Structure 1
Amino acid sequence: MTTVASGTGVGPLLRGWRERRGVSQLELALRADSSARHICFIETGRSRPSEAMILRLAEHLEIPVRERNALLLAAGYAPRYAETSLDDPAMGALREGIERLLQGYEPFPAIVVDGVYTVVAANRGIAMLLEGLPERLLTPPLNAMRITLHPEGLSARIRNLREWRGHLLAQMERQIALARSKPLRELYDEVAAYPLPPETDGGPADRADPTAYPYFALPPQIEHDGHVLSFVSSISTFNTPMDVTVAELAIETFLPADPATVKYCQGLSAAAGRP
């Protein structure tokens, strides 16, 4: 649900987004085929922007879909973008497409999360990585950041934890800067406060071998049943989403970073009788 703080007009909201993006009134006006004077009047409340103008400014400021609805509500217009549950029959084609993608990526891990890292779907490669974690961490709704960074979660198995943890926290910081998400900020504060596992002193988090990294990306190095698996993470989102739910979905796939990881994952799949 999109809500707007009482007494907050569309002008101050737009000004806040413009300043967050580091764009001047003149630059925004040029992008939106308007004038700096008109942008000034909108931001100060002297002019009520049309629905089309709000959407045009939002597009050029790269404002998230959820917040575009908030801008429209603040200006007295109806929300433009629906927020449809993934369980809705209208989302059937999307669910089936996601499932085919995840299954097609096996035996390697792939996961789908929403805007606050709640796990929407995952394949058997992810299930393999989570084997043996405490049941309370795996009770739905699962959260990918909690599972990864909690001291009793995957963090105890990640050999280069300090580096990978820093990457994940920086990723969340960038998202918070791009979207005004209170739940995401609360999640960040929670996972950033998790202590490092006690075994980091000479344990998995300190045993990473930097020379083993591919030159093109930092891989998480995860221990599994005595083996060290290395992956390169890739995140995909949907182009031109017209629904809040779809706009906030992210598909993360883990590409094997070395031949040993490929062989190990394929061996597990074969042993389980999977194609």
Structure 2
Amino acid sequence: MHTVGELLRQWRHRRRLSQLDLAIAADVSARHVSLVETGRSRPSAEMVLRLAAQLDVPLRERNRLLLAAGFAPRFPERPLGADALSTARDAVARVLRAHEPYPALVIDRHWNIVLTNRAVGPFLADVAPELLRPPVNMLRLGLDPRGLAPWLVNLADVRSVLRARVGRQLAAAPDGRLTALYEELLAPAEGEEATAPPADSDVTITMTFRFDGRELRLFSTITTFGTPLDITLDEVAIESYYPADAETAAYFTDGGGAEGRAA
């Protein structure tokens, strides 16, 4: 089991900061940071949290740091359906509804779909039933041949974008389950070079679906909670999709998104 000093040093190296960089950011001495990392000084819970905040450590891992230092965890993890999260849940539901007629969904840190709005439904109509058994994973849904992959015109570009996103996520906070998903769905095959996401757009990279007899071009934005104190809220994100051209916008606003089926 790692000590709190060892864990803090790992996070500092991951963020590519020197002890002096971290000390300045946390308003402590570099000597104190060194003493904590080497185990010669036992930090208070407040000091652990101060250093963790400057290192942008996820709340789940801040609890781990506190436990390693001999303190109780500070951040609860409650289901999104819990009464304590009702205000946050209602806010998420309002965002999803307000985004209609365009698709939007909520994913957790492992890319499992937590909630969707009604515009997502038609895209799942021809997905294999086994991929829709909870928890429904967005990565598998998009890249599995039984999912949306056959209707993604630019599947290779989408895979490159997802590979880069998950790669950044793992670099920021390593996770065994997410690593397994990356290896299963995104890691380059033997002899294949990992290509960078395409850079041929002046604005953003789109996903192009062949859907309902036409091509729909969508780009996405990601919304997260700004100052969460609950692990669940810290780890969920709202993925909202927007039309990238007038034809795609018309498909949704004219009612096509409510009844369309992949073809």
Using the size of structure 2 for normalisation, the TM-score is 0.91
Asked if the contact 2:119/2:258 (under 8 Å) is kept, the reply is no
Give the structure 1 partner of residue 108 of structure 2: 114
Alignment length, in residue pairs? Answer: 251
User: Residues 270 and 55 of structure 1: is their aligned pair in 2 closer, same or farther, counting only changes over 3 Å?
Assistant: closer
> Where in structure 2 are the equivalents of 1:60-139 lying within 5 Å?
60-139=54-133
- The 2-side partners of 1:38 and 1:271 are apart by 60
Q: Kindly state the Cα deviation for residue 105 of structure 1 after the two structures are TM-superposed.
A: 0.7
**SS of match in other structure, 1:87:** coil
Residue 191 in structure 1 maps to residue 188 in structure 2: no
Q: Kindly state the Cα deviation for residue 270 of structure 1 after the two structures are TM-superposed.
A: 8.6
- The 1-side partners of 2:9 and 2:257 are apart by 57
- The 2-side partners of 1:43 and 1:81 are apart by 23
Report the RMSD for the aligned CA atoms in angstroms.
1.9
> Where in structure 2 are the equivalents of 1:243-262 lying within 5 Å?
243-262=230-249
Residue 12 in structure 1 maps to residue 43 in structure 2: no
Asked if the contact 2:252/2:258 (under 8 Å) is kept, the reply is no
**SS of match in other structure, 1:46:** coil
Residue 225 in structure 1 maps to residue 212 in structure 2: yes
Q: Which has the larger displacement, 244-253 or 263-272? A: 263-272
Q: Kindly state the Cα deviation for residue 243 of structure 1 after the two structures are TM-superposed.
A: 0.3
Residue 165 in structure 1 maps to residue 152 in structure 2: no
User: Residues 193 and 38 of structure 1: is their aligned pair in 2 closer, same or farther, counting only changes over 3 Å?
Assistant: closer
Asked if the contact 1:107/1:269 (under 8 Å) is kept, the reply is no
**SS of match in other structure, 2:142:** helix
- The 2-side partners of 1:89 and 1:107 are apart by 29
Q: Kindly state the Cα deviation for residue 214 of structure 1 after the two structures are TM-superposed.
A: 5.3
Q: Which has the larger displacement, 48-57 or 84-93? A: 84-93
Matched residues, percent identical? 44
Using the size of structure 1 for normalisation, the TM-score is 0.87
Deviations 1:115-158 (A, max 9, x none): 10110101122112222111111112101111001122111111
Give the structure 2 partner of residue 202 of structure 1: none
- Specify which of 34, 47, 52 is matched with residue 41 of structure 2: 47
Give the aligned residue type for 1:47. Answer: S
- The 1-side partners of 2:105 and 2:119 are apart by 9
Asked if the contact 2:101/2:257 (under 8 Å) is kept, the reply is no
Deviations 1:206-239 (A, max 9, x none): xxxx99x752000000111211111111011101
Q: Kindly state the Cα deviation for residue 194 of structure 1 after the two structures are TM-superposed.
A: 9.2
User: Residues 42 and 270 of structure 1: is their aligned pair in 2 closer, same or farther, counting only changes over 3 Å?
Assistant: closer
Asked if the contact 1:221/1:230 (under 8 Å) is kept, the reply is yes
- The 1-side partners of 2:9 and 2:225 are apart by 27
User: Residues 28 and 271 of structure 1: is their aligned pair in 2 closer, same or farther, counting only changes over 3 Å?
Assistant: closer
Q: Kindly state the Cα deviation for residue 269 of structure 1 after the two structures are TM-superposed.
A: 5.5
Give the structure 1 partner of residue 229 of structure 2: 242
> Structure 1, unaligned stretches of length 5 or more?
1-6, 196-209
Asked if the contact 1:214/1:257 (under 8 Å) is kept, the reply is no
